[in-house]
Amino acid sequence: MLLKNALVISHRIIKKVVMPGDIVVDATAGNGNDTLFLANLVGDAGKVYAFDIQDTAIENTRKKLIDNDKYNNVKLIKDSHENMDRYVPDGVKAVMFNLGYLPGGDHSIGTKPSSTIRALEKALSLLKPNGIITMVVYYGGDSGFDEKEAVMEYVKTIDYKKATVLVHEFANQINCPPIAICIEKCK
């Protein structure tokens, strides 16, 4: 299905943009699915910087990479993504955000509006021209509503001469379907 869900849309966009040898960032490593996806795309000549604030997430991601023989081209960083500029060089091709909490983990240790927006700003400045940021925004149940509002407001304020922002929002699905936001840096 072409319009399956926000995560599939974000993966399709990343797949079109990211090439072997690229430098990319997984801003929310979680259980490592997106980190592994990126590691496969950039190959041995590329580099993935993957961030998470939780030990469990870093260890789950490390295990996933080792199990799939993809550990060599990934740097795992236990720090908030708002500090990504301390670790990641300029010239990044793509940054993936998958907001919310660790599946199966503590809902209170999810992403937060202010640090997410600071991280978006850092990601935009590290990105090379025509580089891409994808963000999957989860809301519903006990969390995510304030973050969704803050992110949706923030992306509208990004200077159109600096980057193009596309919001993929499902209009007729039930149960707060996640939103995919895609930001392409201008030349």
The residues in 112-171 that bind ligand SAM, with binding defined as CB under 6 A, are: 115
CB nearer ligand SAM, residue 114 or residue 130? 114
Q: Which of 38, 57, 76, 92 binds ligand SAM (CB under 6 A)?
A: 57
The CA distance from 50 to 97, in Å, is: 10
Taking the complex as a whole, the smallest distance from the CB of residue 57 to ligand SAM amounts, in Å, to 4
Gap between the Cα atoms of 50 and 29, Å rounded = 6
Among 14, 23, 94, 111, binds ligand SAM (CB under 6 A): 111
Q: What is the 3-state secondary structure (H, E, C) of 27-82?
A: CCCCCCHHHHHHHHHHCCCCEEEEEECCHHHHHHHHHHHHHCCCCCCEEEEECCHH
What is the C-alpha separation between 114 and 120, in angstroms, rounded?
10
**Stretch near ligand SAM under the rule CB under 6 A, chosen from 13-21, 107-115, 140-148, 154-162:** 107-115
Question: Which range in 23-31, 66-74, 159-167, 174-182 contacts ligand SAM by CB under 6 A?
Answer: 23-31
Cα(129)–Cα(155) distance, rounded to whole angstroms? Answer: 18
Q: Would you tell me which residues interact with ligand SAM (CB under 6 A)?
A: 28, 30-34, 51-54, 57, 80-81, 98, 100-102, 109-111, 115
